[in-house]
A and B are shown apart, each in its own frame.
Chain A
Amino acid sequence: MRPMAAEKSPRGRDRRPKLVAVPHGNGDGEAAAVEDEAAEPGADDDLRLSDVDEWGRSQHLREILATLYDPLYRHWFRVEWEGFDKLPREGGALMVANHAGAIPADAPSIMHGIERDLQRPVYGLADDVFKRIPLVNLGWSRLGGVQAHPDNAYRLLREQQHLVMVFPEGSKGPGKHYSERYQLRRFGRGGFVQIAMRAGVPIIPLAIVGNEETMPIVAKIPTLAKALGLPYAPITANMLVLGPLGLLVPFPAKLRIRVLDPVHLDVPPDQPRYSRSRIMDASEDIRHAIQQELYDMLSRRRSVWTG
């Protein structure tokens, strides 16, 4: 017996009025819509009212924000890329970068630059602190932020072949004192390497200079952070100079982003687990490479403000 036969019969004698009471040819095709959709499962684009995808990203909202953010990108931070050609035009890749500034300017700049010039979406993996805060979670997910869960990363990279960005330092990078600027923190537990191994995609390290100076942390209030449930509660130089406005306004430090050579991890994808030592070695190699690149870029930087 086919599954259809089991379903049809109860419908015939059912009390449901929908398809019986409404004549099918009633002009506007409203009653027929369900049946049309049933004929072609999956093709429900005409049933959707918004363009929010499964990750919560909306291309429409992303474009509106891009229009607003572009002047900031070009004239405030004057973002400059080196080695932009190393970013892939197709296929999945995991980008990892250093992360700094109380409210980091690096994430939006990387995402904006790539989406504008490469014309492909970038998804950013982030800590669940974003998902806990009202409004912040909404804005973050509409603009391409995704909860950093291994399953999410695998689906994005392996099954959908997207570009994904992650900051392996997590909140330890932006939360550090200004005196420790450009000193990379521990790269988590190497989870990003394991994700790239399982997804079979290359890791593209990025080194960013300038983000530390956009919003330097001069002091921290641990009790306030605890009370608010935040990873850190900083007093920034911006607050000292600009008052309450400094909570949101970054200094116009020049951002320079250098794309390093892609790292291809030479292991078969889709394995349930990978050697811990290989993961930690690769993680440490990438951290070291970014750190050396940062020293190189800093030694060439003549001014914080003009590069």
Chain B
Amino acid sequence: MGKRVLVTGLGSFWGGRVAQALEADPDVDVIIGLDTREPGVQLDRTEYVRVDESYSILSRIVRATQVDTVVHTFLVVDSNQGSSRRMHETNVIGTMNLFAAASQPDSRVRNVVVKSSTLIYGSTHADPVWFREDTRRPAFPSLRVERSLLEVEGYVRDYAADNPHVVVSLLRFSNVLGEDIVTPITKALSLPLVPAVFGYDPRLQFVHEADVVRAIMFVLERDLGGIFNVAGDGLLPWSEVVAICAKRLAPLPPVGRKAVAAVLTRLGVDMPVELMELLTYGRGADNRRLKDAGFCYEHTSAGAVHAFAEATRLRSTVGRPRAYRYERDVENFFRHSPAVVREKGPG
């Protein structure tokens, strides 16, 4: 019998990508995607269920579908994405409900993958250049999004400790770049003048969007439990990132960074406070644990920046392709109508 997988955040960039990768896997029988929004990518056999952001009906879904694998991609790692209350509901309450559902007595869940962020290490002046998975943060987390992720990881750890028969993997991704993803960093790099903090030129690390999906599939296939950093090789200065994108820097004042971030955001430049800190002190995550487990990155940090820069140049000439739009009736027709001739499913 193949796997039955539940994907959270199907409408998000990552949920959609992961569902596509799962559909291509013949070992996966059933894919159920949850989100408040409709999927943003075309999916062939994933079942979409609209839920509220904190997943209050999750235990019913888990019981009814008998899923054995949960891929939790739906975490807010950008403090400008909605209010802090929404972030709390999505991250902390959502994760809490997810694990409550997955730890019901009759639950069949044997595999959980959580997509976290290297944001959890913070970005301060006292940091080491490279964070290993078990490096202690030198400074107390001062940002709300960092504390939110710490709480989420606390639930993950508790769940793993209470359910030793479940393989729990926690992946901490560094900043993602690539052809398609839109983040505050890609928005900043698309501005005519790219924000920088005066007097600082921190080294940053990136991971390519394809490597993110490959890493999630990798730990699922190998049943790899534990915490892993997922980040491309090498660090490069922000000034170099901006130069690769053929842009120029606009220095921001180095003092009162929280206020500067708030003013910029008010002015329409998406500058979350955690990005402001990153542009001051930078961050590096040691990616050797996942490599030692056998994972091969297709892109280095510099490679991810180049991929982004090339895609941006191409788009500036030919424009963005038409976005996919989810039509519930059409999707249900193809999945469930007796009129559709379906080949015997894989597996």
Contact = CB atoms under 8 A, between A and B. Distances in A.
A44 B303 contact: yes
A80 B186 CA distance: 52
Interface stretch (B47-55, B60-68, B229-237): B229-237
B13 interface: no
DSSP class of B's interface residues: helix, strand, loop or mixed?
loop
Nearest to B282: A56
If over half of A's interface residues share one DSSP class (helix, strand or loop), that class is named, otherwise mixed; here it is: helix
B237 A52 contact: yes
Interface residues of A, number: 50
A271 interface: no
A155 B286 CA distance: 11
Interface string B110-140: 0000000000000001111110100100100
Q: Chain B: interface residue count, which band?
A: 35 or more
A284 to B, nearest CB: 27
B126 A41 contact: no
Contact of A50 (B23, B236, B303): B236
A42 B24 CA distance: 28
Nearest to A138: B201
Contact of B303 (A10, A34, A128): A34
A135 B130 contact: no
Interface in A144-167: 146-147, 149-152, 155
B217 A18 contact: no
Contacts of B322: 15
A3 B221 contact: yes
Contacts, number: 163
A131 B201 CA distance: 11
A48 B200 contact: no
Contacts of B240: 48-50, 52
A9 B20 contact: yes
Contact of B233 (A6, A42, A155): A42
Contacts of A31: 310
Contact of B244 (A49, A138, A147): A49
Interface in B198-238: 198-201, 203, 210, 213-214, 217-218, 221, 233-237
Interface of B: 17, 20-27, 41-42, 125-130, 132, 135, 138, 179-180, 197-201, 203, 210, 213-214, 217-218, 221, 233-237, 239-240, 243-244, 254, 281, 284, 295-300, 302-303, 305-307, 310-311, 314-315, 318, 321-324
7 contacts: A10-B213, A15-B324, A48-B302, A52-B240, A54-B129, A131-B126, A152-B129
